[in-house]
Amino acid sequence: MIRRTVRFLDQRSGAAPLLRKTLRYAFPDHWSFLLGEVALYAFVVLVATGVYLTFFFEPSTATDTYQGSYAPLHGVEASRAYISVLHISFDVKAGLLIRQTHHWAADVFIAAIVLHLIRVFFTGAYRKPRELTYVIGVLMLFAALLEGYLGYSLVDDLLSGMGLAIGYGVGLSIPFVGANLMVAIFGHPFPGAPEFWSRMYIAHILLLPLLIGGLLSAHLALVASRHHTQFPRKRVPGERKLIGLPAFPAQAPRSLGLLFAVAAALVLLGGLVQINPIWLWGPYHVSQGTNGAQPDWYLGWLIGALRLVPHFDVVVWNRTLIPNPFWGGILFPTVVMGALLAWPWVERRATGDRRFHNVLQRPRDAPVRTAIGAGFLSWVVMIFLAGASDRMLVWLGISYMSQVWFYRVAVWILPFVIGFVAWRFCLALQRMPQGPPRTSDGGGHGAVRRPQSAK
C-alpha cells in the first residue's frame, strides 16, 4: 500500500529522492533546539484560532447598545467591535476558549521567538553561512510584535484604546513626518476615522500574517538548505559532518508530539487561566483611562523606555522638533533592532572571522560575545522592568519616583557590570579543573551529552 502510494507520487512528481532525503534529514539533538519549533507551533495555533475568531468579529467603530448576556454592561453604548468581542466571550459557545487560547498563543509565540533568539545568539548559531536565516528571524520577531499589538488594539476596550493612543503619540513624535504619517494611517487625528479600523483589521488578519508566514517559510527553507548547526561532538570532529537523529523514525513523532503538546498547553491556558477580561475594562473613550494599565508582556520594554525618559521636548525657537516619546518609542526599539540585525557583520568585522561555521560555541567559548550579549540583554530587561515599576509600587511599596530614578541611572551602568561579570565567569569556566572538553561526548563539566536514546 505504502509502496504503491510512493510509486504513484514519484511517477507524477519525481519526488522520491527528495522524500528519501527528507526522511533521513539529521536533527542534532539538544533541548534548546526545540524553542524555534515551539514558536512555529504557537503560530499554527494562532492561525487556527484566529481564523475562527474572524467569523464572529466585527471590525467596526459604529456604535450600538450592548444587550448580550453579560448583565453589568447592559445598556452601555460601545463600538460594534467591542460588542462583537463581548458576544464572542459570552454568547458564542467555545468562543471565550478560542479567544483566550489565541491571546495566550500570541504571548507564547513571542516568548518562544525571544528565547530562540537568545539561544541562537549565545551559541553563535547566526555565523556564516546562516546570517540570512538569523536576519529573517529578527525581522519576524518585530513583525510579530506589531501583529500582537494590532490584535489587542482591535478589541476597542479601555486598555486597547489606551494602547492605541500611545501608539499614536509615539507615531506623532517621528521628526518632521510624524503628523502626516499618523493622519495617513488613522485617517484623522486620534481616535481616527472609521476606515482606520478596516486598515488595522486587514493588517492583523492578512498582511502581517502573510508577512510572518512568508518570513517563516524562508527561515525554514534556509535552515533546511544549510542544515542545522550542532554542538561539538567527538564522533565527528570538524565542521564537515553532521550527526543527528533522522527525521524518520526519530524526529517526526517527537516533533509532532511537540506540536500537540504546545497546542495542549495553549488550550489549557485558554480554558483555565483568564486573560484580558475586556468586560471588566469596559469600552474605550478618549476621556477615560485606568491606573495599573499594563500591555501584553512583549511591549513592556517599550512602556519602560517611554516612562524612563525625563521630561523634555527638543524645542528650537519655540518650535517642537523632537517630541519626547521619540526617544523611548522610536529610537530605542530601532537601536535594539538595528543592533540585532547588524551583529553578525559587526562580529565578523571585529574578529576577522570569515570562515564557515557549522559547529556551535558554548557561551563560555566566546567570552566577549557572551559579555556583550549579557550586557545588551540586561539593558533591555532592565528597561522592561522599569515598565513594571508602578506594579512594584503596589506590590512592594517602593516609591515609584525612586524606582524611576534608580532605573534612569542603572540602565547606563549595570549592563557594563553584568557584561564584565559574564566575561569573568566565562574565563573562570574555561579554567575549570577538569577543563571543559571542547569536544565531548559525555562526562566532564558542562559537557554536551549525547541523547540517551542514541546510546
| CB 88, min distance to another protein, A | 11
Least CB distance from residue 191 to another protein, whole Å? 6
Q: What's the closest the beta carbon of residue 403 comes to another protein, in angstroms?
A: 10
On whether the CB atoms of residues 231 and 359 are closer than 8 A, the answer is yes
Query: How much is the CA Rg of the chain, to the nearest whole Å?
Result: 25
Interaction between residue 15 and another protein (CB under 8 A): no
Closest CA to 438 of 241, 233, 243, 239: 233
Residue nearer to another protein on the CB measure, 140 or 263: 263
- Number of shown-chain residues binding another protein (CB under 8 A): 108
Burial class of residue 131 (count of CB atoms within 10 Å of its CB; 0-12, 13-18, 19+): middle
* 191 binds another protein, rule: CB under 8 A: yes
Q: Contact region for another protein (CB under 8 A) — 30-38, 119-127, 248-256, 339-347?
A: 248-256
- Footprint of another protein on residues 365-394 (CB under 8 A)? 390
CB of 416 to another protein, least distance (A): 25
Within residues 417-446, the interface with another protein by CB under 8 A covers none
CA separation for the pair 242, 232 (Å, rounded): 10
**Quick one: which segment of 7-15, 23-31, 143-151, 362-370 binds another protein (CB under 8 A)?**
23-31
Using an 8 Å Cβ cutoff, are 174 and 326 in contact? yes
Question: What values do phi and psi take at 18, rounded to 5?
Answer: -65, -40
Per-residue DSSP letter, 238: S
* 292 in contact with another protein (CB under 8 A): yes
77 binds another protein (CB under 8 A): no
Q: Nearest 10 degrees: CA dihedral of 233, 237, 242, 246? A: -50
Residues 199-228 that bind another protein (CB under 8 A): 225-227
235 binds another protein (CB under 8 A): yes
Q: Does 244 bind another protein (CB under 8 A)?
A: yes
Of the candidate residues 4, 12, 93, 354, the single one contacting another protein (CB under 8 A)? 93
Q: Which amino acid is at 248?
A: F
- Shortest distance in whole angstroms from residue 434 CB to another protein: 25
Nearest one of 331, 330, 334, 313 to 322, comparing CA atoms: 313
Instruction: Report the alpha-carbon distance of residue 232 to residue 439 in Å, rounded.
Output: 5
Among 186, 197, 201, 379, binds another protein (CB under 8 A): 186
Q: How far is the CB of 418 from another protein (least distance, A)?
A: 26
C-alpha span between 244 and 229 (Å, rounded): 10
Distance CA 384, CA 89 (A): 31
Name the residue with cell 460601545: 78
Do 150 and 203 form a contact (C-beta atoms < 8 A)? yes
**DSSP conformational letter for 449:** P
The window from 4-12, 207-215, 265-273, 431-439 that contacts another protein (CB under 8 A) reads 265-273
What minimum distance in Å lies between the beta carbon of 215 and another protein?
A: 22
- Does residue 246 belong to the site contacting another protein (CB under 8 A)? yes
Whose Cβ is closer to another protein: residue 11's or residue 290's?
290
Pick from 17, 33, 37: which is nearest to 25 by CA? 17
Question: Contact between 18 and another protein (CB under 8 A)?
Answer: no
